[in-house]
Amino acid sequence: MIHRVSIVLVFGILCSALSMIGVAQSSQGTLRLDVNLVNVFPTVQNAAGEYVTGLSAQDFRVFEDDVEQKISIFEKDDRVQSAIGLLVDNSGSMVDILPIMKAGVLEFAQKAKRSDEFFVMTFGLRAQVVQDVRQPVSRLESAFKLITASGTSVFFDAMLQGMEKVGKSVQQRKALILFSDGNDNGSKAGFGEVSLAAQRSGVMLYFVPIGARRLIDQPTVESLATLTGGRVLYLAKTDPIRPVIESIRTDLSRQYFLGYYAAVRPGFHRIRVEVPGHDVRIRAKTGYVGN
């Protein structure tokens, strides 16, 4: 997530020094510096796949376009609240998988933290909210009884709507969890538009495709997950869904929260997170698009 911040500087001597990083001088002789607050949520694991949770801000190094940034905000583990959207594909190709997906979403909703926000959308011929933030889980159970699988899939349109909705939350960490095979055959939007929206919004994308991998659009879900710092968790129809739900829940609660300020510049900016001196694997968004 990118937040624009304006810092007013009253020292005229700084004009030349700051001219290279987007500073405008007002008629009153003050300087206005527009910067982005860039949020990054790295997941750190060791070679065995175990979460590494005892790190401090000094352990991390963050680079934007290969230039190291000063970490201004640091939080660890589950101290950061989340806004989460759960998107369920109810198109015709999901007819024998829909009951499994419903069970997984209900499992997640029933165990959601009180401090977190979540909503549920379904998408087939169109995307619609069936459970909004703070509504009781009983409402979701009733809604799911009426949801059947049919028609085409507006997979990309649903992601755009989900990112727009979750992006309105005041919570810092934002994620979408999508239960789908990743195939789209009815959207107005395309992959490029979704990819750009994800880079602008900072929303992490988690995908839970259920069924034969040959029927899943693996390049689409893998690339979007990598881009945003999310994951893809494949399931066979006979696999239990509870471990996957718990894996995502744990993943979100074990992330670190790093924030740094960067001058406002248009275009795509690469992000790289390192933990020197530790044998770890780091998963985080690979960049963002500035306005």
pLDDT of residue 218: 95
pLDDT of 15 > 70? The answer is no
Residue 54: strand, helix, or coil: coil
Structure tokens at 56: 């401090």
Number of residues assigned to the chain: 291
Lowest mean pLDDT among 10-14, 202-206, 237-241: 10-14
Greatest mean pLDDT among 4-8, 105-109, 160-164: 160-164
pLDDT of 203 > 90? The answer is yes
For 247-262, the pLDDT digits (tens) are: 999 999 999 999 999 9
Residue 246: strand, helix, or coil: helix
| Mean pLDDT, range 168-183, rounded to an integer | 93
pTM: 0.87
Q: Are 122 and 139 in contact (CB under 8 A)?
A: no
How far is Cα 144 from Cα 130, in angstroms, rounded to an integer? 8
Angle between helices 98-110 and 137-144 (to 10 degrees): 170
Residue 194: strand, helix, or coil: helix
CA-based nearest residue to 52, from 241, 256, 216: 256
- CA angle, residues 166, 171, 176, in degrees to nearest 5: 35
Return the percentage of the chain with pLDDT > 70, whole number. 88
For 16-38, the pLDDT digits (tens) are: 334 334 444 434 445 446 888 99
pLDDT of residue 26: 38
Q: How many other CB atoms are found less than 10 A from the CB of residue 3?
A: 13
| Mean pLDDT, range 60-73, rounded to an integer | 97
How far is Cα 120 from Cα 25, in angstroms, rounded to an integer? 46
How far is Cα 131 from Cα 98, in angstroms, rounded to an integer? 17
pLDDT of residue 181: 86
Instruction: Tell me how far CA of residue 240 lies from CA of 73, 156, 217, in angstroms.
Output: 38, 27, 22
For 105-161, the pLDDT digits (tens) are: 998 888 887 778 999 999 999 999 999 998 999 999 999 999 999 999 999 999 999
How far is Cα 277 from Cα 172, in angstroms, rounded to an integer? 29
Give the chain's mean pLDDT. 88
pLDDT of residue 9: 39
